Amino acid sequence: MSVVQSGKKSHDDSCAIAESTRQSAGRASGATQAQVIAAEVAYYTAVLASSKANNNSADIGAPLAALRDLRA
């Protein structure tokens, strides 16, 4: 489990919810590779949006790189 600890509760909570959703989608019975990738894209998009909203874009490098790697 990926835990974000930025020190800003609203951002940390948003990321925790996104992580929970990502893990649920990845563990779903019969999940296809496309579904797992879609869950990854949704997670990193949520982290990016929360970072922009709560942290003044201080830590957007990692989610942006992940999205590029996923070719989203």
Instruction: Compute the distance between CA of residue 58 and CA of residue 66 in angstroms, rounded to an integer.
Output: 16
Instruction: Compute the distance between CA of residue 72 and CA of residue 70 in angstroms, rounded to an integer.
Output: 5
DSSP 14-35: HHHHHHHHHHHHHHSTT--HHH
pLDDT of residue 11 exceeding 80, the answer is yes
Name the pTM for this structure.
0.81
Q: If you ran DSSP here, which 8-state letter would residue 12 be given?
A: H
* Domain definitions of the chain by residue range: 9-69
pLDDT attached to residue 25: 84
Tens digits of residue pLDDT in 16-55: 999 998 988 878 888 899 999 999 999 999 999 998 888 7
